Structure 1
Amino acid sequence: MGNSSKRYVSFLILGVLTFGVYSCALLAQQARYQQGVKVGQVAARRLSEISGLAVSRRNRAVIWVHNDSGDGPYIYAINPSGELLATFAVTGADAVDWEDIAIGPGPEPNEDYIYIADTGDNNARRRSVTVYRVKEPTVDPNARAASGRTSRAEAIRLVYPDGPKDAEALFVDPLTGDIYLISKRELFSHLYRVPHPQSLSHPNQLQSVMVLPIGLVTAADISHDGTTIVVRTMVQAYLWRREKATSIADAFKGRFWTIPLQKELQGEAIGLDQTGTGYYTIGEGRQPPVYHFSAAQ
């Protein structure tokens, strides 16, 4: 078979597989959510490649964001209007390719921790990746462009069981403290887990949990009570419900729903709001809009 014929067959197979992925996704019912409302616009020029967001549970009206690769080890507190409240250097952390951010439990009870996924690996070359964990700083909601440093971050090194992966989605089960990553560069993304407690002295072996019915995942989040999970790609977002006394794997094996997105310039980030019923999205680019989506009444 000639090279041109081989290329044609390859593109045909890729097209069929892609159609199959989105056909599976289309089987999901549409959840009752209103279209996103622009509630703000990120003003800070340095926040031009926002890759992840997480809504604070302890700081009122604070959204934590970070840039993609190319920035230093910084997290930024903005409000829903997009105003920069504070910039924090993450003490003891490196920023190879940060892709997502999450809020979850940690070593000290009744404290919230920020988890940062340094898990980007476009060329699948990294032997291990790192999730940083740091106690969530306190933010003054009336501050403007303040600066500070976090407490020293804990580095949780992770190794995949099936070779290097590019992962852009992170969430932490608030009920168990287990860390979850979702791979990106596959037509059907893989869900990985590292159970609590995670080692800080040697690499943690990720466990392959399951293959998801969607692909090209760029972000994920879970509600503070662990009952709602959202996952997004650049063009579509999905929602799963988790019943009490069930696992994350059980939730992902159940029904799921599509939820709306607004058109964004390379939109990658999603995060549930403090109620756990609505969610925010922010795209990349200069002064990107902040969208909020509410559940339909």
Structure 2
Amino acid sequence: MFKQLSLGLAAGLAVLGLGATAQAASNQQLVSQKSVTRSGKVTGNVKGKLYAFRTTGQVLTLTATHQLKNYPRTAWIVSKSAVIQKANGKQYRYNYVTSTSSKTKKTVSGWVWAHYLKTPKTVKLGAPYVSQQAVKAWMGCESASLLEGLHYKGVLTSTGLVAFMKHLPRSKNNNPNNGFAGSPYKVTPGVFQSIFPKPLAKWGNRYEPVKNISGAKLAQLRAQLRLHNPVVVYVTLHFAKAQYGHYFWGTGINNSHVMLLDGYKSGAYHVADPNHGKYWVSAKKFARSYNYKHFAVAVQ
């Protein structure tokens, strides 16, 4: 439910930026405001402005602080929603947003007319490609995919796959739930050669915020991409039907493969596949392959 915004709270809203233009009208009022679930994440349009709110008596002043056109590759996280009644008597919804970007850690915040917040139909982050084949890491797809995500975030950009894998957590008992089982450079018969999301995310967190989001639905993967967070996904080789094998720790998919998800559009997903390059794959194929396990690690 909306709560009437008190004068004290309105006056306490942060004013961002300098030298901005104020919009004020004698009948312009802040009708109501509420907090919203921070999972409502969208990408900003290049049109519109961010504003700071300030009230004097019953008059609401909107002070422009930032032009959205100056943040073309920035995603915006919504945390509050407000309704404003303009001088013409009409009411408009504004959202309080904070920026997030792969290019900078600096953030900006402010109120924006909800009309300017668009959920994009197409996202393509353009994550860098890391080849496991080039260094003969035949079983190193998890490491290569994670490194692709870290490179996209501007982390370890001068580090190659061989150097990166020197720090690969290993499983002493060949259980991929504990670390990498076997060797990334050769096939070890009888061993399920992989590292599962929990230890992979823990490893990635040494360098950059990395989160195990296993269980995420496809819509949640797309939401991560809209925030410029590429996702390491566990699928099957060539997106084929799963071939199961039984091990002392449980059931695994023998033809499993791991790659970095970095884009989507209608009917397709874009991946940086360390075994085959960068390409679009049909949404149907990707969904079938991903839905076997719902294993995913977001590089945030």
The TM tier, using the shorter chain, reads: under 0.3
Higher-Rg structure is 2
**Which TM-score applies when normalising by structure 1?**
0.26
Task: Specify which structure has the bigger relative contact order, considering alpha-carbon pairs within 8 angstroms and separated by 6 or more residues.
Answer: 1
**Which TM-score applies when normalising by structure 2?**
0.26
Structure with higher helix content: 2
